[in-house]
Every structure is written in structure tokens, then in C-alpha cells.
Amino acid sequence: VGVILKRGLWRLHRWVFVVKKGYQEVDTSVQSSVITKLKGVAFTNTSELGERLWDVVDYVIPPQGENVFFIVTNVIVTPNQRQGMCPESFGIPDAVCSKNSDCSEGEAVIAGNGVKTGRCLKTGLVNTTGTCEIFAWCPVEKKKKPKKPLLGKAENFTVYIKNSIRFPKFDFSKTNILEINEDSYLKTCRYSKDDHYCPIFYLGKIVSWAGSEFQIMAMEGGVIGIQIEWDCDLDKSGSLCHPHYSFTRLDNKFKEKSASSGYNFRFAKYYRDAEGKDYRTLIKAYGIRFDIMVNGKAGKFNIIPTIINIGSGLALMGAGAFFCDLVLLYIIKKSNFYRDKKFEEVKSSSKKSLCVNVNGKIKSKSQNALDQLKQLQTQEEPIL
């Protein structure tokens, strides 16, 4: 048992020292910057928008983000809204009414689109309910979504992710781009797990690597995380420090049909007619948000952590021997047998330290030495 325990402790120490590089000083305070650029176009033809070509300016919101970018994949368009009076949507509980007194004038509709005017507008049938008339951008926002994502072809769009990192403790810097002077390389290459230095990704493949299907996710939207990991051994060449990519879905993909699922927001495009009156097109945009996260560490040989880890390893070996003796002497069933074997050498040496005097009495070596000293003192005393 003791041998097995000591071997295990030795392997543990070797794992910490060699595999985990316990002899290195480590810097985890990586400084990072991320730049993204998207490419791709899509053509759509809808009743609200007509024939339309979507390019980067249309579907990337905002144009510049901090380690994040958003791709519009689906929209609900409410065109030609003007400020005026119109009935509130039936889907707003606070707007449902049966008489004018249910619509207090000047009161904002809770979770609605405007302010009540004091009138209850019905469909014309007797004893039916209606909705409050409101002052708002009319007509109110449409709720019906397309059966397919408007920009389903966005899965073929590409994103270029440039990542520059620096470890200040070692003054080491690097990027995730192959350091060559040929511009054609980035125009033709695409990311693969065998090529660390082509950071151009298809959006559809990113979603697939995260465990989701692009066409399904494009309907309601969602959030994808792109993780860039740097693990640099600076005792070796800096060219061996490579970026590693991983992809995960950050929102809950198992609740795609819940009220809180997806990712969307609203924005409007404003216009002015010939009479100088403003109107707008309201767009509720669904899409996929990509969050880019960068982590990293760098290690380099340093004598201080080397000495500390060697010392801790030796102390661990000593603690292992003590623990082994504790188990064998006091816990296992055959502790008496082990105790006899452990202390056998001590008993044997104590027997050898004994000697027999002329009278047959047992004296120790220390006692014989004391008697000889007394005899010498008696011989050296002067005779008076």
C-alpha cells in the first residue's frame, strides 16, 4: 500500500511539474482587440418591401460593435405609419373595452402603442367588445411573422474576425492572421479546424458548430458565443502559439417556443412627404447576435516557481509516508503484524547494544564506559 501511495504521489507531482508546467511563470492578463467585417448579399421580394437587395449596410446592426455583431435574419415590417388616431391592437389587454368610460382620455396604454383618446371603438356588432382609440403612429405595429426567415440565405454570409493579443508580462504579441504579404490568401481561404490562421467563417457553420440549425434559429433569433483561446508556451517558438476556436449557444435553445425566446428589437426609417409631414416604416428585426470572447495565458520558465514546486513536491512525498504509516498502524485489521515488522529493526539493535559483565549481570555499553572512566580517575589520584 505504501509503495502504491508513493508512486501515486510521485505521478501527481510529475503531472503538476511537467504536464501543467509548474516550472513556468504564468501571465493570464491577456490584452485583446477584435475587429469584424461581414460580406454577403441577399435578394428578397415581399408585399411590404417589394423587390429589395440586402447588403452589409442593411443587415449588420450596429455597423461597428465592441466584440459583438448582429445579423438581421427576419423582419416584420409596418410601412407608412403616420401620427394620428386609430384603434389599439386587440392583443393588448389594457386596450380592451366595452364602453367609452373604459378608455380614460390621456392615459397611456400599458404595454401598448399610444395614448387613449376616451373613445371605445367597436366592430359594429351589438354587445361586443372593442379596443380603445389611441393617438399613436398609425396603423399600429403588425404582429404576423413570415412563415420563413426573410434572410434565410444569410447562412452563406461570411464574417472576418481579426484578433490581436498581447501578454504584457512577457511583452509578447500576436494575431490570428497568417503573416504573409499576399492579399489573395484572405480572399480565398475559409476557416477549418486544420487551418488556425484563416479567421473567415460561414455564419451557417458557426451556428452548426454551436449545436443549432441556422434556418430554425433565424426565425426568432438567438445568441451565439465565439470563444478564442490562446495557450502560449514561450519556452518554445512564438510561431507555435496558435488560436483555438470554440462555439456555443448562449441563450436557451430548449425554450425556442417560449415567450422569452429569441432575440429582437425595433427600429424605424423616417421620411417626409411633399406636404412636409413625417411618416415612417417600422421594422421589428429578429436576428442572431454573435459575442466574441477572448481568453488566454502564456508561460515562461522562472526559477522561483520551479523551486517552490520542487519543495512542495518533496513535502508531499513526506506527508504521503506519514499518512501511509498512520493507515497501516492504526486503521487496517493487520496493524499488529505491520507494527511488529516496522519496529523489528529497532528491537534488534537494542539487543546488540547490551553486553554482559564478569558477574553475569547485564550492562549497557554506556555503563561500561562510565566504570572505565572511574578507574582511570582512581589511578591518577596523588598519594598523600
Which parts are annotated binding residues for ATP? 37-39, 158, 264-266, 284
Q: What residue numbers does the annotated binding site cover?
A: 37-39, 158, 264-266, 284
Cα atoms in the Cβ-side hemisphere of radius 13 Å centred on 2: 14
Give the C-alpha separation, 26 to 317, whole Å: 25
Give the C-alpha separation, 168 to 153, whole Å: 42
Grid coordinates representing 375?
Answer: 578507574
The helix (H) or strand (E) run that includes residue 3 is helix 2-14
- Terminus-to-terminus CA distance in the chain, angstroms? 71
Choose among 283, 291, 269, 246: nearest CA to 73: 283
Give the C-alpha separation, 44 to 51, whole Å: 6
Exposure b/e, 192-216, CB count within 10 A at least 16 = b: eeeeebbbbbbbbbbbebbebebee
Q: Provide the Cα torsion 57, 61, 67, 68; round to 10°.
A: -130
Grid coordinates representing 92?
Answer: 393588448
Contact 112, 93 (CB under 8 A): no
Taking CA atoms, 72 is separated from 140, 267, 308, in Å, by 22, 12, 54
102 Cβ neighbours under 8 A, 6+ residues apart? 96, 120, 132
Q: 222-233 and 278-301 as β-strands: parallel, antiparallel, unpaired?
A: parallel
Contact 151, 44 (CB under 8 A): yes
What DSSP state is assigned to residue 144? P
Q: Provide the Cα torsion 127, 133, 138, 141; round to 10°.
A: -60
What DSSP state is assigned to residue 243? E
Give the C-alpha separation, 280 to 86, whole Å: 16
